[in-house]
Structure 1
Amino acid sequence: MPVPDPNLYPDFNVIRLSHTCLNVADLTASRKFYTEILGLQVTDETDTHIYLRAMEERGHHCIILQKSDRPGTVEVMGFKTYDEGDLDRAEAFFRSKGRPTEWVQRPYQGRTLLTSDNIGIPLEFHHKMDRLDPIHQQYALYRGVKPLRIDHFNCFSPEVDASVAFYNDMGFRVTEYTEDADSKKLWAAWMHRKGGVHDMAFTNGTGPRMHHVAFWVPTPLNIIDLLDLMSTTGYVSNIERGPGRHGISNAFFLYILDPDGHRIEIYCSDYQTLDPDHEPIHWDLKDPQRQTLWGAAAPQSWFEHGTEFVGTKPVEAMLKATPIIAP
């Protein structure tokens, strides 16, 4: 199935990804990991929730840690719209697709629409979020990998072609994709709104499940510093893959796992995709440099482990093709 032509005038306007809520078992352990190791800043905390932002972000939060009896699951993925009217247009769009819609109250956010995509990923859309003073020049606060901003989500989809078609209708544009040469079906695709390589990506696999949430960092050297920190503070086993450079996106990367098994990518040095006639890059599934331009090949866990979304039961992938996996 070919990549769809970009929809440059969607029914409503998403600016970018905004935040996600991760369910965790132990707020104290998670707080330590996300602040002392990863380096996010706490903006508020209660007995049940911790709100965090990265160093360049002015919005109140990009990560919510929620104490739960279902740790290792994802509550929701959030996106920011261009204006308030887009929220009403989004409601009409999702209703036209047969998806449930509900207006919900969220701390530190304005009017928020809760819905889900075609495979059941819970999504919420807001325009307003409490704005905080800038901290990007408060260098004494920088810790861990020095995360600057949340960058993207990647999710397992049981049918990547269908996921791409749905998000294309929302105005997400494909930047790169992997195609199975035999079936001509998509094995993975990277889609953006903010002008980078992706805000949302889909990988073939049992889903829906979150594959990872990614943070942009200043330089590859920050990633090396994080590896040194994790290896000497009891977190060496939380290092899953990398460092290396992706063929797709050209990004320098590292994948780590938080205490509840949520995968986090540390990410820098991808490229700009603002032009409306930007042409997507095609990769063959068997090309070893698509996933790793250089560095060790991805381990089996990278293709199989993901965290489930609350209220959604994953199903097996329709496409059975497999990429190159590390021995």
Structure 2
Amino acid sequence: MPVPAPNLYPPFNIVRLSHVEYRVTDLEAARAFYVDTLGLQVSGEGPRALYLRAMEERGHHCVALRQSAEPGVGALAFKLFDEPDLDHAEAFFRARGLPAEWVERPHQGRTLAARDPWGIPLEFYVHMDRLEPIHQKYGLYRGVKPLRIDHFNMFSADVDASVAFYNEMGFRTTEYTEDAETGRLWAAWMHRKGGVHDVAFTNGMGPRLHHTAFWVPTPLNIIDLLDLMSTTGWVGHIERGPGRHGISNAFFLYVRDPDGHRIELYCSDYQTVDPDHEPIKWDLKDPQRQTLWGAPAPRSWFEEGSLFDGAVPQEAALKAQPIVAP
């Protein structure tokens, strides 16, 4: 199926991705990973929750960690432009017979909780508590020096359908991988904020969250993180990289938190703000699409992901496979 034409006038205006809520089984172990190792800043905490932000962010948090009996993903959240957009978003989901309800969330104003057609829990808000800037408080920089949350990547059992739905919400495709034999999409990258992606979809058992990514200043920060993890007991949590993606041109590293949630550290992609920006097509059999240089991805990178609360994953309809490391 062809990539849909960009929807330049969507029914509501998404500014960018905002934050992820992870369910973790050991809050102190998660703190050791996200705060002491990666370098995210604590912006709030309670007996069963920890809120974190990156160095350039003024909103209260980009990650919410919640103590739970089982690991999972509570929600993927997006910031909208203005209050009327919240009402338009509610109408959009209800018109399609999808769940949509108003919920209370700490540190946020009016918040809409919804689900996409495959059950991914989504949240939308306009106002979040604003904090003082810390980007020039260089004494706080630690770990990989994360600057901001960058994107979510999700396993999808039907990438064509996922792209069509998120295109309705105004996400624009920047790059995609097509299976030449069937003409179907194997993966796609879609944005709102003018980078390569706020969301991406990868063929596989879904829906599941493949990873959350954080933008870091330079590739050298990723090298520094590797040195840190390899000498502080985290070497076994390094999954893939470093390397450079063909798609997005990003310099990357993938690591896993204590509950197995995958985190990408990421820099060096490019600007996509032009409304007539043409998406780049990649063939599934091109080995440089996922790895311009670097070791091939391990099997775990294709098969393992985090479960969304309340969503039941289904087998992917497309059975084509890219190159997998031995």
Q: TM-score, normalised by structure 1?
A: 0.99
1:156 offset after TM fit, Å? 0.2
**Alpha-carbon distance between aligned partners in 2 of 1:184 and 1:84, rounded to the nearest angstrom:** 40
The CA deviation string for residues 88-124 of structure 1, in whole angstroms up to 9 with x for no partner, is 0000001112111110000000000000112110000
The aligned counterpart of 2:17 is 17
The code of the aligned residue for 1:198 comes to H
- 1:204-215, aligned counterparts within 5 Å? 204-215=203-214
The code of the aligned residue for 1:3 comes to V
The structure 1 segments of at least 4 consecutive aligned residues displaced by more than 3 Å after TM superposition are none
The CA deviation string for residues 46-98 of structure 1, in whole angstroms up to 9 with x for no partner, is 11000000000000000000000112x10000000000110000000011121
**Alpha-carbon distance between aligned partners in 2 of 1:27 and 1:299, rounded to the nearest angstrom:** 28
1:299 offset after TM fit, Å? 0.6
1:32 offset after TM fit, Å? 1.1
The code of the aligned residue for 1:138 comes to K
Q: Which moved more, 1:271-280 or 1:92-101?
A: 92-101
1:251 offset after TM fit, Å? 0.2
The code of the aligned residue for 1:153 comes to F
The aligned counterpart of 2:86 is 87
* Match status 1:267 vs 2:258: no
* Match status 1:141 vs 2:140: yes
- 1:144-293, aligned counterparts within 5 Å? 144-293=143-292
The code of the aligned residue for 1:34 comes to Y
The code of the aligned residue for 2:35 comes to T
**Alpha-carbon distance between aligned partners in 1 of 2:283 and 2:44, rounded to the nearest angstrom:** 45
Compute the RMSD of aligned alpha carbons.
0.4
The aligned counterpart of 2:27 is 27
The code of the aligned residue for 1:53 comes to R
The aligned counterpart of 1:2 is 2
SS at structure 2 position matched to 1:228: helix
SS at structure 2 position matched to 1:296: coil
SS at structure 2 position matched to 1:3: coil
Structure 1 unmatched ranges of 5 or more: none
Q: TM-score, normalised by structure 2?
A: 1.00
**Alpha-carbon distance between aligned partners in 2 of 1:87 and 1:116, rounded to the nearest angstrom:** 14
**Alpha-carbon distance between aligned partners in 1 of 2:20 and 2:268, rounded to the nearest angstrom:** 23
1:227 offset after TM fit, Å? 0.1
The CA deviation string for residues 256-304 of structure 1, in whole angstroms up to 9 with x for no partner, is 0000000000000000000000000000000000000000011100000
1:163 offset after TM fit, Å? 0.2
Structure 2 unmatched ranges of 5 or more: none
**Alpha-carbon distance between aligned partners in 2 of 1:303 and 1:233, rounded to the nearest angstrom:** 27
1:130 offset after TM fit, Å? 0.2
**Alpha-carbon distance between aligned partners in 2 of 1:255 and 1:225, rounded to the nearest angstrom:** 14
1:126 offset after TM fit, Å? 0.2
The aligned counterpart of 1:96 is 95
The code of the aligned residue for 1:88 comes to D
SS at structure 2 position matched to 1:187: strand
**Alpha-carbon distance between aligned partners in 2 of 1:181 and 1:270, rounded to the nearest angstrom:** 26
Give me the identity figure in percent: 73
The aligned counterpart of 2:304 is 305
1:314 offset after TM fit, Å? 0.5
**Alpha-carbon distance between aligned partners in 2 of 1:256 and 1:33, rounded to the nearest angstrom:** 10
